[in-house]
Amino acid sequence: MALIDKHPELARYITEQGWFEFLREQTLAMIEIPEMQLQVKTLDSLLKMYGRILDAVENDKPFVSSYYCLAPELYTAMDLPYYMVMQTPFLASSVPYLLTDIDAAEEMGLGNDLCTAIRLSIYYVEANLSPLPTCALNLLYPCDGAPLLHEVIKRNERWRNIPMFACDPPYYSDERSLDYFADEMRKMAKFVETNTGAKLDMDKLKETLEYSNQMFQLWDEYNQLRRNVPSPHGWGIGAPQCFSQAWVYEAGTPQGVEWFKKLVEIAELNVKNGVGPVPEEKIRLFWFDLLPFGWVFEFLPWLEEEWGAVMVMDMFGNFPYTMIDTSSEEEIWRGLAKRNLFDAPMVRQARGVADNFANDIARIVKDFKIDAVVWPGHMGHKDGAATVGIMRETCRDLSVPFVHLGLDLFDKRYSTPDQIKDKMSQFFRAMGLG
Amino acid sequence: METNLKSKAFQEFSNAAETLVNPVLQRWKDQGGKVVGYFCSTVPEEIITAAGLTPFRMRATGSTGTEESDAFYSSINCSFPRHCFNQVLTGDFKFLDGIVCVNSCDHVRRIYDNWKRFVPTDFIEMMSLPRKTGPDQVGWYTEELAMLKDKVGKHFGVEITDDRLWEAVKLHNETRRLQKKLYELRKQEKPPITGAETLAVMVAGTAMPKEQYNEKLRELLDELSGTEGPGGHRARLLIVGGILDDPAYIKVIEDQGGLVVTDSTCFGSRLMWVEVDENASDPISALAQYYLTDRPSCPRMYGEHDNRAQYVIDMCREFNCDGVIGERLIFCDSWLVEHYMLGQDLKAAGIPMLKLDREYLTSGIGQLRTRVQAFLETMGR
C-alpha cells in the first residue's frame, strides 16, 4: 500500500517534495554560478527535512510540528524531525495550485481579509493536508493570526488529541519578560521530551548552539558585505535562504556553518570584483517585509532590470544577531528566549511596541546607504499597517523616501504585479530615483 | 434613541450611549473628578475606581470620519481604531486625564504607539496581557496589575490600598449583579426591554461613576420589574462578536422582528456574567484571576474556544434563542476565525447562525435588513 493511501494528509507534502526536487534539477542546470551551487545546498537541506518527516510517518517514529522562531536548535539537539505547520504558503508559493488553494480556503468560510499565509495554513489543516505529528508546538506571536491558526489546529478533529504546547509571549522586551519567556521555553522542551520520548542532553544542546552561534556570526558578517556599493547580492540570494538555514533546516548543524561560510566567500569575491546583481546599481532599496513569494519572479527581476533597483536589505535579513551564552544552563535558556522573542525577524517588529519598526528603519537606512524604504503593506500585516504613520515620520526625519504599496505577498490577484510595478515606477520618478 | 420605554433612568443611559461626555460624567468633571480612558474589557476598571477616578471605556461614538487618522493607519485596519484615533487627534478625548492600553489586538494596540508619539498625554500606560490563561499567566498578569496600581497611584497622588481595592471590587460586582438582573428580565417571553435598549444601558455603565450608574440601574430595574414588552417578534436571537457599542445596529435587526435577548459581546454579557471573587486572599490577584481566566473570554485568548462556544450555546438555551448572529468588524482576524469555528459548533448543536461583517459606524442598513430578513425566513420565522 502506498504511503499516500495510508496517510492522505501527506498529499500536499509529497507534491511539495516533488516540486522542490524539480526545482533542484532546474537549479543544477545553472550549476556553474556559485550562488546556484549554494541554492542547491539549500534545497538539499529542505529535501532532507521532507525526507525525514516522510520516513517518520512511514516508520511510526516521533516528529514535531512547529512554527518559525521557536528555538529549532532544540530539535536538532534532540535529533527530532520537525516541520513548520505554515511552510506551504512560504515554501511552495510558486506551485501551480497556490491560487486554487487560496480560493478553497475562502470557500471554506475563511473570508479574504485574513492573512493569506494564515488562511492557507488553516485550510491545509482543516482539509487534512498537513502531516499529523506526534506533538505540536504552537506559536502565539507575532500577530493575531498566529494564535488563531493554532486555535483552529487545537480544535480540529484530527489534531484534537495530539498533545500541544504554546509559548506565551510577553509584550515588552525587558529582563522580566526574558525570564518569563525563558521559563516558557524550558517548559516547552520538557513537554517535547515527555511526548516524544526524545531526550534533551544539555551538552548536545550546547554544542548545537555553538554551531548556531557560528551561523549567526557568519550571517552578520555577510550582511556587513551587503553594505558595499554595489551590494554583492540583491533579492536572489540573502535573507530567505539565510533564514531557512539558520532558523529552519540546518539550525545548529555543521552543514549550516559550511553553508554560511560559502555564502560569505561568494559575497567577498563579488565585493572584491565590484560585482553586484545588476550591471549598474542605481537604487538601494530596503524592502521592509518578506519577499512577495507568490509572484516573486514576476516582480523582483523587473525591479533590477528596469530600474537598477537592488533590494539591499529586507525585514528578515537584519537583526541584532545576539550570541547565545552557553556557559550555563540558565544563560542558555535566556539566550534562546532572547533570540526567539526579541531578535527574531518579524517577531521583533510585530510582537511588541512599534519602536522596533522605527529603530530598524533608522539603523538599516544608515548602515546600508539606503535610497528608499518600501513598506509593501502585505494585507495580513495589520499591526504594521497601523504603524505606517510612524514609519513615514521616521523616513521623513532621515530624509529618505518612503512608499507604502498595499499587496498580498502570496496572492497576485490582490494587487497585480503590473499594478505594483506601476506604483514603484511612479514612486521612483516622483522621487527622482534611478 | 427611539424607544417605547418611558423611564427617565433609561433616557439618561440612552443619552450616555449616544455621546462621549454624558451629563453625569460632565458633572463629575465639573466637580473636579478625573477620568481615565481604557481600551478593552480586560483592563480592570476596579483599579481606576479604587484611585477615586472614573473609568471610561474607549469608543468612537460621534465620529464622522477618519480624515486625520488616515495618515497613521491603512485601509486594511479595522475602522474602530481609525475612528477612535481620529477623535484623539481632533481633541474629542481632551476630557480624559489618562489612558490605559493593552495589547488586545493588532489594530487597537497601535493606538498606544501613535498616541504616545503624536499626542502629548500626561499619563498613558500599556499593559502586557498574556494569550494563555493558566496559573503562570495569572501570575504574570497579577504583576502587571500591581504595577498599574502603583503607576496610577503615583501619578494621581493616591495610595491605592487593599481596602480601597476591595471596596471597588464590591462596587463593580454590584454593577455586574444589577446588569445580570436586567438580562434575567429578557428571559421572559415578552421581555420588557429590547436588545438595543439593553446595549445602551451596558454602554452607559462604562461611561459614568459606578455609584451613580448603579443607582440609576436600580431605578430602571424597579420600573421594569413585573412588566412585559409588546412581544410579537419573529425570533429570539443571541448576538456574538467584539466591540459593538451602537444600539442602532441592534435596532435594525430588531426592526426586522429578530429580538436580541442576549449576547456574548465586549459591551455585553462578557462584562458581567461572572463576578470577581470577593473572598480571595488579595484583591490584585483576584482581579488578575477574574480578568484573565474566570470571565468569558474573547477570541484574543488562546486555547479557550471550546469554552467560548459552550458559553454561547448555554446562553442560547438559557435565553431560549432561535438563532445566533455573529457580528465582526471588517479586518478583525480574531472574530473571523472565531465565527468560522463557532459556525461549525452551532451547526452541530442545531442552532442556526448568520455571520455579518460591519464597519464601526453603522452603515449599509439596507443590506443588513435584507440579510436579517433572509435569516429569519430560513429559520421559518
Tens of pLDDT, residues A90-101: 776 667 788 999
pLDDT band at B182 (very low <50, low <70, confident <90, very high): very high
Interface test with B, best of A110, A112, A125, A148 (most B CBs within 10 A): A148
Same domain, A63 and A137: yes
Is it the case that residue B4 has pLDDT exceeding 90? no
CA B31 to CA A227: how far, in whole Å? Answer: 61
Q: Is residue A48 part of a domain?
A: yes
Tell me the nearest-neighbour CA distance from B65 into chain A, angstroms.
17
Among B128, B306, B333, beta carbon nearest to A170: B128
* Three state DSSP letters for chain B: CCCCCCCHHHHHHHHHHHCCCCHHHHHHHHCCCCEEEECCCCCCHHHHHHCCCEEEECCCCCCCCCCCHHHCCCCCCCHHHHHHHHHHHHCCCCCCCEEEEECCCCCCHHHHHHHHHHCCCCCEEEECCCCCCCHHHHHHHHHHHHHHHHHHHHHHCCCCCHHHHHHHHHHHHHHHHHHHHHHHHCCCCCCCCCHHHHHHHHHHCCCCCHHHHHHHHHHHHHHHCCCCCCCCCCEEEEEEECCCCCHHHHHHHHHCCEEEEEEECCCCHHHCCCCCCCCCCCHHHHHHHHHHHHCCCCCCCCCCHHHHHHHHHHHHHHCCCCEEEEEEECCCHHHHHHHHHHHHHHHHCCCCEEEEEECCCCCCHHHHHHHHHHHHHHCCC
Angle, alpha carbons A401-A404-A409 (nearest 5°): 130
- The reply to whether A179 touches chain B by the CB within 8 Å rule is no
CA B181 to CA B325: how far, in whole Å? Answer: 23
The H or E element spanning position A403 is: strand A402-404
Chain A, window 342-371: residues with a beta carbon less than 8 angstroms from a chain B beta carbon: 350, 352-355
Helices B210-224/B8-18 angle, 10° precision: 130
- Mean pLDDT over A401-429 rounds to 97
Residue A309: which of A397, A370, A357 has the closest Cα? A370
pLDDT band at A361 (very low <50, low <70, confident <90, very high): very high
Residue B317: which of B274, B270, B351 has the closest Cα? B351
Answer yes or no: are the C-beta atoms of B138 and B109 closer than 8 Å.
no
- Mean pLDDT over A162-179 rounds to 96
Query: What is the tally of structural domains in chain A?
Result: 2
Q: Residue with C-alpha cell 542532553?
A: A201
CA B227 to CA B224: how far, in whole Å? Answer: 5
Same domain, A173 and A220: no
pLDDT at position A92: 64
Q: Is residue A86 part of a domain?
A: yes
Beta strands A164-167 and A135-139, pairing class? parallel
Answer yes or no: are the C-beta atoms of A372 and A398 closer than 8 Å.
no
Is it the case that residue B199 has pLDDT exceeding 80? yes
Angle, alpha carbons A252-A335-A367 (nearest 5°): 85
- The reply to whether A147 touches chain B by the CB within 8 Å rule is yes
Of A153, A170, A196, the position where a domain reaches its end is A196
Q: Is residue A383 part of a domain?
A: no
Are the Cβ atoms of A388 and B74 closer than 8 angstroms? yes
pLDDT at position B211: 98
pLDDT at position A93: 66
Q: Give every CB contact of residue A312 below 8 A, 6+ residues apart in sequence.
A: A226, A231, A234, A284, A285, A286, A368, A369, A370
pLDDT at position B381: 81
pLDDT band at B290 (very low <50, low <70, confident <90, very high): very high
CA B63 to CA B83: how far, in whole Å? Answer: 6
Answer yes or no: are the C-beta atoms of B82 and B66 closer than 8 Å.
yes
Answer yes or no: are the C-beta atoms of B57 and B38 closer than 8 Å.
yes
Are the Cβ atoms of A114 and B337 closer than 8 angstroms? yes
Same domain, A96 and A216: no
Same domain, A170 and A230: no
3-state SS class at A99: helix
Eight-class DSSP state of A378: B
**Ordered domains of chain B (ranges, CATH):** 23-161 (3.40.50.11890)
Same domain, A160 and A226: no
Residue A150: which of A117, A121, A112 has the closest Cα? A121
CA A112 to CA A103: how far, in whole Å? Answer: 9
Same domain, A183 and A266: no
Question: Using one digit for the tens of pLDDT, what is the confidence trace for A31-41?
Answer: 889 999 999 99
CA A297 to CA A94: how far, in whole Å? Answer: 9
Residues spanned by the domain of A39: 3-196
CA B103 to CA A141: how far, in whole Å? Answer: 12
Q: What letters, b where the CB count within 10 A reaches 16 and e where it falls short, cover A391-413?
A: bbbbbeebebbbbbbbbbbbbbe
Is it the case that residue A142 has pLDDT exceeding 80? yes
Q: Is residue A14 part of a domain?
A: yes
Helices A175-196/B135-156 angle, 10° precision: 170
3-state SS class at A164: strand
Are the Cβ atoms of B106 and A169 closer than 8 angstroms? no
Radius of gyration of chain B (CA): 20
Q: Across the strands, what pairs with A404?
A: A375
Tell me the nearest-neighbour CA distance from A353 into chain B, angstroms.
7
Question: Using one digit for the tens of pLDDT, what is the confidence trace for A342-360?
Answer: 999 999 999 999 999 999 9
pLDDT band at A429 (very low <50, low <70, confident <90, very high): very high
> How many other β-carbons are positioned within 10 Å of the β-carbon of residue B266?
21
CA B27 to CA B329: how far, in whole Å? Answer: 33
Are the Cβ atoms of A147 and B302 closer than 8 angstroms? yes
Are the Cβ atoms of B109 and A122 closer than 8 angstroms? no
Answer yes or no: are the C-beta atoms of B242 and B265 closer than 8 Å.
yes
Same domain, A50 and A161: yes
CA B117 to CA B114: how far, in whole Å? Answer: 5
Among B110, B130, B337, beta carbon nearest to A148: B337
Same domain, A146 and A21: yes
For B251, what's the count of Cα atoms within 13 Å in the CB-facing half-sphere? 15
**Helix, strand, coil share (%) of chain A residues, nearest 5:** 60, 10, 35
CA A268 to CA A274: how far, in whole Å? Answer: 10
Angle, alpha carbons B304-B309-B312 (nearest 5°): 130
Size of interface A-B (CB pairs under 8 A): 142
Q: Percentage of chain B with pLDDT > 70?
A: 100
Answer yes or no: are the C-beta atoms of B40 and B53 closer than 8 Å.
no
CA A192 to CA A136: how far, in whole Å? Answer: 9
Interface test with B, best of A382, A396, A407 (most B CBs within 10 A): A382
Q: Give every CB contact of residue B32 below 8 A, 6+ residues apart in sequence.
A: none
Establish whether the linkage from the previous residue to A163 is cis, with ω within 30° of 0.
no
In single-letter form, the type of residue at position B273 comes to: W
Angle, alpha carbons B313-B137-B276 (nearest 5°): 60
pLDDT at position B337: 98
- Mean pLDDT over A242-251 rounds to 95
Q: Percentage of chain A with pLDDT > 90?
A: 89
- The reply to whether A5 touches chain B by the CB within 8 Å rule is no
> Residue B223: is it exposed, middle or buried by C-beta count within 10 angstroms (0-12/13-18/19+)?
middle
Is it the case that residue B371 has pLDDT exceeding 80? yes
Q: Is residue A402 part of a domain?
A: no
Same domain, A129 and A260: no
Eight-class DSSP state of A162: S
Among A144, A155, A170, beta carbon nearest to B341: A155
> How many other β-carbons are positioned within 10 Å of the β-carbon of residue B3?
16
Q: Is residue A341 part of a domain?
A: no
Q: Is residue A351 part of a domain?
A: no
User: Which residue in chain B is spatially nearest to A147 when comparing CA positions?
Assistant: B302
Is it the case that residue B127 has pLDDT exceeding 80? yes
Same domain, A109 and A217: no
Are the Cβ atoms of B75 and A169 closer than 8 angstroms? no
- DSSP letters of A279-318? SS--EEEEE-S---GGGGGGTHHHHHHHH-EEEEEETTT-
CA A119 to CA A104: how far, in whole Å? Answer: 10
Of A277, A302, A321, the position where a domain reaches its end is A277
Q: Is residue A93 part of a domain?
A: yes
Residue A235: which of A160, A291, A166 has the closest Cα? A291
3-state SS class at A128: coil
Residue B324: which of B302, B298, B346, B349 has the closest Cα? B346
Q: Across the strands, what pairs with A165?
A: A137
Tell me the nearest-neighbour CA distance from A392 into chain B, angstroms.
9
Residue A183: which of B130, B269, B318 has the closest Cα? B130
CA A421 to CA A302: how far, in whole Å? Answer: 8
In single-letter form, the type of residue at position B241 comes to: G
Residue B79: which of B298, B363, B361 has the closest Cα? B361
Helices A417-431/A300-307 angle, 10° precision: 30
Same domain, A207 and A151: no
- Mean pLDDT over A41-70 rounds to 95
Q: What letters, b where the CB count within 10 A reaches 16 and e where it falls short, cover A264-273?
A: bebbeebbee
A372-375 β-sheet, strand order: A309-314, A283-287, A372-375, A402-404
CATH of the domain at A40: 3.40.50.11890
Of A151, A169, A196, the position where a domain reaches its end is A196
Same domain, A127 and A215: no
Contacts of A119 in chain B (CB under 8 A): none
Are the Cβ atoms of B128 and A177 closer than 8 angstroms? yes
Q: Taken in order B171, B173, B177, B178, is the CA torsion positive or negative? A: positive
pLDDT at position A27: 79
Helices B305-318/B333-348 angle, 10° precision: 60
CA B66 to CA B89: how far, in whole Å? Answer: 10
